[in-house]
Amino acid sequence: MNAALASEAKASGYQTSTVIARIMDMDVDAVGNAEKAAWKRYMGLALLAIAKSVDKKKLIEAIFGKGGKPSKTFQNMYSMADKARNTVLGNRSWDDIRAMPIDAAMDTVMMSINPWLQHQWYRDNFMRWVELLPRPSETVPGAVAYFQNLDKRVRNIRTPIKPGRFLQKFFGDILTQEQIHEHALEWAGRFEHPDVTITQDADEIEKVYRARHLGSCMHFPEGGWEGSCHPARVYAGPDLGIAYLGSSEYPDARVLVWPARLLFFDKFYGDQSRLRSALVTMGYRAGDDSRFEGARIRRIRYQGNYVVPYVDCADWAEDDGEYLILGDGDIELGRTNGLNVESEPDYTCDDCGDGMSDDERNYISSIDRDVCDHCCERKYFFCEGSTEYHPNYDLAPTRGGDGSYSYSHVRDNRNWFKCEATDHYYHISQYTKVETYEGDTYEESYAEENFFYCEYLEQWVEDTDLLRSYCQ
Ligand SMILES: [Zn+2]
């Protein structure tokens, strides 16, 4: 074990005695299924023991008693764990693993060994992979490297093979062709080196943000931010940056990263699974808000305020004079206009007094008021006649026409007439207007029901009792 690893492990969060107790709990020389289970657990625990700098001799003494002889299983697993250490961790440190409770640490260690470990078919056939020890090939990206035989294993020589062929060869009796295809893709997706770029260049970051809409409100393809430049430019170092997949002209995914700490903030835009697995392969880990606290972003002043995007990993920042520091502070990072403050509204609603942009503005010419969309929807209606908005109190009761009409439109309009009985306005294209002998206007069907048509006068007469005799 190297000195750096030993000193890292020394700070481990769980007790040496806990690791030893877990190992002692296991029946290391069990047979059959229990043996497989034991081997699997042993591998993880042996790795944890190594991480914890548990001295091998003391471990043996604790498990097998003073002067006791370690079992064969113990010996095999310990040496395998020692060899697998780099495969499991790659260039990562034990920091994240040590911060976890022992069971979570165990799971993580075991899961890191390879992406097939989560599948039941793989777990049920533990002995097969224990012999082959497949791991990502270092020479052929996306391939599996495994020990072809015991001799090569002793000499630590692995042979690369395509993951699909590996599965066909060693698990072909268990898996269907569809499963082989699917799991081969799973391996390749995890270990191939996709086209990931990590940039801290402001121009490149802006290009990626504007090139393609990946579901973010910070897209701004045609500009339109409030400040002096695209707000995502603040991610151009010194701490943060952007990782993206594909070209900057047409990115498939992007995510915020802290390159020096090998962290990505767990909010992806676009093809999350490919970018995530690529970053994990590169040694990156997901970080939450707390891990991004203290990150420095660029400080761009604009008219007494700051150019900032909507920041996923922090709500506030403070100005240290040179950079903005994420975490606490009074600079708000939750706005979508490209600044830390709400911009001055262009207009004010005459009804509710709220600010509004030109887009949200509705001029009501009949009463000379400027109102916001919200007020407009609540208190005004669109008159099909004047093709303008009118206050709701100006809504005329109408029959015919097409939609709503205002009093100011239907009154004194020769296309409309008012029925004295119903007080409704009727459109002449769909209704017939009749004028009575008395000089009032009605809709024809009302007249038919209530009045009398005088053949002599050739007119409808309202006072039917009186006039029936007169006319006849
Ligand atoms: Zn309003």
Residue 459 near residue 471 (C-beta atoms within 8 A): no
* Strand duo 196-199 + 144-146: pairing: unpaired
Mean pLDDT of 200-217: 90
Q: How confident is the model at residue 224 (pLDDT cuts 50, 70, 90)?
A: confident
In this predicted structure, the answer to whether residue 260 has a pLDDT above a threshold of 50 is yes
Burial class of residue 61, CB neighbours in 10 A (0-12, 13-18, 19+):
middle
Could you tell me which residues are beta bridge partners of residue 459? 454
Q: Is the pLDDT confidence value at 323 over 90? A: yes
When pLDDT is cut at 50, 70 and 90, the band that residue 40 belongs to is low
CA of 372 to the centre of ligand 1 (A): 4
Question: How confident is the prediction for the chain on average, in pLDDT?
Answer: 80
Determine the distance separating the centroid of ligand 1 and the alpha carbon of 393, expressed in angstroms: 17
Q: How far is the CA of 404 from the centre of ligand 1 (A)?
A: 22
Checking if the pLDDT of 329 tops 80, the result is yes
Confidence band of 76 (pLDDT split at 50, 70, 90): low
- For residue 24, the model assigns a pLDDT of 54
Determine which of 152-161, 220-229, 360-369 has the lowest per-residue pLDDT on average.
Answer: 152-161
Of 54-63, 85-94, 287-296, 326-335, least confident by mean pLDDT is 85-94
What are the distances in angstroms from CA 206 to CA 211, 242, 251, 428, 449?
8, 10, 12, 60, 74
Report the SS3 class of residue 24: helix
pLDDT band at 80 (very low <50, low <70, confident <90, very high): low
Positive or negative: CA dihedral 337, 298, 321, 267: positive
Report the separation in Å between the CA atom of 348 and the middle of ligand 1, taken as the mean of its atom positions: 8
| Model confidence at 71: pLDDT above 80 | no
CA of 306 to the centre of ligand 1 (A): 29
Whole-number Å distance, alpha carbon 364 to ligand 1 midpoint, is 12
Cα-to-centroid distance, 228 and ligand 1 (Å): 29
| Per-residue pLDDT at 469 | 61
pLDDT surpassing 60 at residue 344: yes
pLDDT at position 290 is 92
Q: How far is the CA of 373 from the centre of ligand 1 (A)?
A: 7
Distance 346 CA to ligand 1 centre (A): 14
Cα 330 to middle of ligand 1, angstroms: 29
Give me the pLDDT at residue 60, please.
78
CA of 355 to the centre of ligand 1 (A): 8
Q: Which amino acid is at 299?
A: R
Find the 395 Cα to ligand 1 centroid distance in Å. Answer: 20
The pLDDT > 70 percentage for the chain reads: 76
Query: Measured in angstroms, how far is the CA atom of residue 336 from the centroid of ligand 1?
Result: 21
Distance 240 CA to ligand 1 centre (A): 41
pLDDT > 50? residue 311:
yes
pLDDT above 70 (res 453):
yes
Measured in angstroms, how far is the CA atom of residue 389 from the centroid of ligand 1?
14
**Average pLDDT score over residue span 102-108:** 63
Query: Averaged over 157-178, what is the pLDDT?
Result: 92
| 3 compared with 359, residue with greater pLDDT | 359
C-alpha of residue 362 to centroid of ligand 1, in Å: 10
Alpha carbon of 50 to ligand 1 centroid (Å)? 67
Question: By the 8 A CB rule, do 45 and 76 touch?
Answer: no
Distance 386 CA to ligand 1 centre (A): 22
Ligand 1 centroid to residue 390 C-alpha, Å: 15
Mean pLDDT calculated for residue range 369-392 = 92
Q: Model confidence at 272, in pLDDT bands (50, 70, 90)?
A: confident
Is the pLDDT at 14 greater than 50? The verdict is: no
Q: 307 and 300 in contact (C-beta within 8 Å)?
A: yes
Instruction: Count the residues in the chain.
Output: 472
CA of 224 from ligand 1 middle (Å) equals 23
pLDDT value of residue 33 = 40
Is the bond preceding residue 231 a cis peptide, omega within 30 degrees? no
Report the separation in Å between the CA atom of 388 and the middle of ligand 1, taken as the mean of its atom positions: 17
CA of 353 to the centre of ligand 1 (A): 6
> From the CA of 333, how far away is ligand 1's center (Å)?
27
DSSP label at residue 93: -
Cα of 159 vs centre of ligand 1, distance in Å, is 72
Average pLDDT over residues 242-249: 90
**Is residue 432 very low, low, confident or very high in pLDDT (cuts 50, 70, 90)?**
very high
* Three-state DSSP state, 443: strand
Average pLDDT over residues 127-143: 73
Query: pTM of the full predicted structure?
Result: 0.42
More confident position, 250 or 390: 390
Residue 208: the pLDDT is 95
Greatest distance between any 2 Cα atoms in the chain:
137
CA 148 / ligand 1 centre spacing (Å): 75
Kindly report which listed range (283-292, 396-405, 457-466) carries the lowest average pLDDT score. Answer: 457-466
pLDDT of residue 333: 95
pLDDT at 190: 64
C-alpha 283 to ligand 1 mean position (Å): 52
Confidence of residue 3 (pLDDT cuts 50, 70, 90): very low
In the reported structure, the alpha carbon of residue 375 is separated from the centroid of ligand 1 by a whole-number distance in angstroms of 4
| pLDDT at residue 98 is higher than 90 | no
CA of 309 to the centre of ligand 1 (A): 27
Mean pLDDT is highest, among 37-46, 89-98, 332-341, for 332-341
User: How close is the Cα of 313 to the center of ligand 1, in Å?
Assistant: 34
SS3 168: helix
pLDDT above 90: residue 312: yes
Please tell me the predicted confidence (pLDDT) of residue 320: 94
Ligand 1 center to 380 CA (angstroms):
11
Long-range contacts of 152-156 (CB under 8 A, 24+ apart): 156/83
pLDDT at residue 342 tops 90: no
**What pLDDT score does 31 carry?**
37
What is the structure's pLDDT at 9? 35
**Residue 187: which residues within 8 A CB-CB, separation 6 or more?**
114, 115, 116, 142, 144, 163
